[in-house]
Structure 1
Amino acid sequence: MVKVAVFASGNGGNFQSIVENTKNSNLKNYSVELLLVDKEDAYAKKRAEKLGILCYTVIPKNFSNKKEYEEKIIEILEENEIELIVLAGYMRIISSTLLKAYENKIINIHPAYLPNFPGKDGIGDAFRSGVKETGVTIHYVDEGVDSGKIIYQEKLAIKDGWNLEKLEEEIHKVEHRIYPDILNKLSGKIKK
């Protein structure tokens, strides 16, 4: 079983979906060992508490630079024997410090069908552009913004009459359905 750390910055809906799917299904290739958040008020912390998952809050401004911040994260990950990092609404660019320590072991979910609409507002950008479809992408993390090798993608048609909130709701449904399954398949391929 692959030991996973989930990183989040806000709500934690994907984090909760990933954890609950290991308890309520045949997804047995991974175990969520901890949640790491970068904001004191992240709602994901409350979800971790309810789910009985260890939570670390590591605030970037408490460090003199990004390298020190990521070295602290690596220390936590190593103490907990983490093998795979799963970004779930973690709103920070990962730098070379963490990327080198976990090369090809960091994945992200992005709420758009990449390469379209990378960045922090994939859903809003897609909605405002007027496209007829968007989707969800799961990819490896590299030093770019949503530019890593794609693991899995699923399209979503944007129906007439949908507002931004409805599109967000539908994107999150897709995310919560596919992320645990793809994570499980990927974890089954990781060599110990």
Structure 2
Amino acid sequence: MTRSGPRPCGDRALLFEAGSAAEVAAIVAAVRAAALPEVTELVPAARTVLVEVAPGAGLERVRAAAGDADAATGRLGTGTLHTVPVTYDGEDLDLVATTAGISVDEVVALHSGAEYTVDFCGFAPGFGYLSGLPEPLQQPRLESSRSAVPAGSVGVADVYSCVYPRRSPGGWRLIGRTDMVLFDPAADRPALFAPGDRVRFEQR
């Protein structure tokens, strides 16, 4: 299913390359379903999956499990469901509506009416890339990134939505904000979102 065989990363990990988000989800689902005790890390990204095993463990069973992945049935979004309250007053809300050729109310209805999956995390601690964005809201990033985006900002870019977990630079189109804490380094689970979790946005 993958475009080529997995690439070794040292003697304890394999990097699988996929052609789509569905293939990534299928690989993750297949490795999880195998319940291999030697697997210590399973890290999905946009088009890759890194699987690491414990010291001294072999990689053969990981390779075999991923080989059983089926993109037609793979589905990553089976984890915890998070409901995120959002005030839709972002700086780019009018821009998103104009680009989509719809009203601001329709932008809010589309964004809050969808269910999203945390495909992978990256860019900053706790920053999840949320797939499931309705097609009219799939728009490019801003031409120039902002030097500082406030924590809790809700944005859209390309095929994803996001919530900025902390103040940071960013070029996503901002449509709202939330007071929910997405990253707390002092917590037992610092990042609220994990790959495979589901997210719904609720207008407040």
The TM-score with structure 2 as length reference comes to: 0.29
Greater C-alpha radius of gyration: 2
- Higher strand proportion: 2
Larger relative helix fraction = 1
User: Taking structure 1 as the reference length, what is the TM-score of the superposition?
Assistant: 0.30
